[in-house]
Structure 1
Amino acid sequence: MPEPVLSLDDVRLTLRSNAGPVEILRGLTLAVDKAETVGLVGPSGSGKSSLLMLMGGLERATGGRVRALGQDLSAMGEDALARFRRDNLSVVFQSFHLIPTMTALENVAIPLELARRTDAMEQATAGLEAVGLRDRAHHYPSQLSGGEQQRVALARALAPRPAILLADEPTGNLDEATGRQISDLLFGMVRDSGTTLVLVTHAPELAARCDRTIRLRDGRLEQAA
């Protein structure tokens, strides 16, 4: 049986505060298969975004083990984690995180250039075309609408064709019509590339499009469907 693309074994995350330790995640065990789409849902503060960050090696578990593509992220140093993310993983944030001094084209080209792709600009142009923004390639983020900025962020995340895509509330800052458009683009591009997708959302209609929904409450796995 193939090894899961992502697996968590009794993962815990405890953060320190002035009031003492705060348990964010409390012993989660979970596996995500290749090309599967998974929605993480639950009330605010349940640990959804923290779990997503652990999956991407952007946060360190304080207990248990996180594996991605057969690699133990818990045992990697920061440099090794950075290389792993560069080569295998992309993240779409709710707040876009575009670089304001770079054009849409330059923003999409960044991960390709970091991977030393000689065709970075050509692939970035193709990525913008895929999200319907080729004619906005030389506009800066401040010249783009919220929906256009999220489409640029999506093109940037998928241009390197990552094995794993993590998305944190990818439609959270958008109006209903634009959110539906971004959702269509996201699932269409993931399906075409065979990428494994894990997304955090409060939108039931977005979670319903995933192969499986995982519900968290108080840092524990409450329900999987």
Structure 2
Amino acid sequence: MTKPILSLQDVTLALEGNAGPVEILHGISMEVAEGETLALVGPSGSGKSSLLMIMGGLERASAGRVTALGEDMTRMDEDQLARLRRDGMGVVFQSFHLIPTMTALENVATPLELAGHKDAFERAAAELEAVGLGHRADHYPVQMSGGEQQRVALARASAPRPRLLLADEPTGNLDAANGDAIIELLFDLRDRHGATLVLVTHSNALAQRCNRVVRLHDGRISAATPTATKAAAE
């Protein structure tokens, strides 16, 4: 049997608040198969984004074990986690997180340069073309719309050809038309590069595009079900 690309075993997360520790996640155990598309859904405050951040090594679990890309993330220091993300993960945030002093091309090329790719700018240009922004390569984030900035963020996340793509509310700051366009691009990039996709969303339409939906409530998994897309594929 193929090993999962992502595995969480009895993961908890407690963050320090004004009145003491606040429990965010309670004993989360789950696996994500290579090539799967998975949606994390639930009401605000249910722990969806915190769980995604733990999956990407951007937040440390208070207890439990997290394994990603064959590596035990709970045993890694910050530098090791950064290298793991650089070499095998792509992360897309709701608020884009582009570097304002860099052009679109430079934003996309930066992770490729950090990974030592000599053709960083050529690959970055190709990714911008793939998201329909080849003509905006020399523009800065402030010169672009929200939809365009999210396209650049998608290009940056996919340019290193990650095995695992994580997206936190990728359409949350966009209007309906731009949100629909980003959804199509996200799944197109996933299909082109064969990545495993895990995303946090409030959109039922987006969740139903995935193979499986995991629902959280009060920091616990309340349901995990295959979608109609998965059922049709089987």
- 1:187, CA displacement in angstroms? 0.4
Aligned partner of residue 39 in structure 1, secondary structure = strand
- SS at 2:40 equivalent: strand
> Is residue 58 from structure 1 mapped to residue 58 from structure 2 by the alignment?
yes
The secondary structure found in structure 1 opposite 2:30 is: strand
Structure 1 equivalent of residue 23 of structure 2: 23
Q: Which residue of 2 aligns with 1:10?
A: 10
Which range is displaced more, 48-57 or 75-84?
75-84
How far apart in 2 are the matches of 1:146 and 1:79?
31
> How far does residue 21 in structure 1 lie from its aligned partner after superposition?
1.5
Residue 197 (structure 2) aligns with: 197
AA matched with 1:92: V
Aligned residue type for 1:58: L
SS of residue in 2 equivalent to 1:2: coil
Q: How does 1:157-196 map to 2 (within 5 A)?
A: 157-196=157-196
Say if 2:126 is the partner of 1:126: yes
Name the SS for the 1:213 alignment partner.
Answer: strand
Residue type of the alignment partner of 2:95: S
SS at match of 2:24: strand
Q: Which runs of 4+ in 1 moved over 2 A?
A: none
Determine the C-alpha separation between the residues in 1 that align with 2:75 and 2:221: 24
Shift of 1:124: 0.3
> Match of 1:49, SS?
helix
CA distance in 2, matches of 1:165, 1:21: 30
SS in 1 for 2:84: helix
The equivalent of 1:42 in structure 2 is 42
How far apart in 1 are the matches of 2:179 and 2:28?
30
Q: State how many pairs are aligned.
A: 225
User: Match of 1:222, as an amino acid?
Assistant: S
Measured after TM superposition, the shift of residue 217 of structure 1 is 0.3
Q: Matched residues in 2 for 1:18 and 1:44: separation?
A: 20
Q: What letter corresponds to residue 17 of structure 1 in structure 2?
A: G
1:210 matches 2:210? yes
State how far apart, in whole Å, the 2-side matches of 1:96 and 1:16 are.
Answer: 27
Task: Note the aligned Cα RMSD (angstroms).
Answer: 0.6
CA distance in 2, matches of 1:28, 1:100: 36
**2:43 is paired with a residue of what secondary structure?**
coil
Structure 1 residue 90: Cα displacement: 1.2
The letter of the residue matching 1:157 is A
Q: Residue type matched to 1:105 in 2?
A: L
In 2, distance between residues paired with 1:182 and 1:16? Answer: 35
Query: What is the CA deviation profile of residues 111-135 of structure 1, one whole-angstrom value per residue up to 9, with x for unaligned ones?
Result: 1000010000000000000000000
Any stretches of 5+ residues in structure 2 without a counterpart? 226-234
Residue 191 (structure 1) shift: 1.2
**Matched residue SS, 1:100:** coil
Verify the 8 A CA contact 1:35 1:191 in the aligned structure 2.
no
Matched, 1:150 2:150: yes
CA distance in structure 2 between the partners assigned to 1:143 and 1:49 by the alignment: 29
Measured after TM superposition, the shift of residue 192 of structure 1 is 1.6
Show CA shifts across 1:25-59 (max 9, x none).
00010000111010000000000000000000111
Aligned equivalents of 1:204, 1:108: Cα separation in 2: 30
Return the alpha-carbon distance in structure 2 between the equivalents of residues 107 and 113 of structure 1. 10
Secondary structure in 1 aligned to 2:199?
strand
- Runs of 5+ unmatched residues, structure 1: none
Superposition TM-score, scaled by structure 2 size: 0.95
Instruction: Report the Cα distance in structure 2 between the residues aligned to 1:79 and 1:144, rounded to whole angstroms.
Output: 32
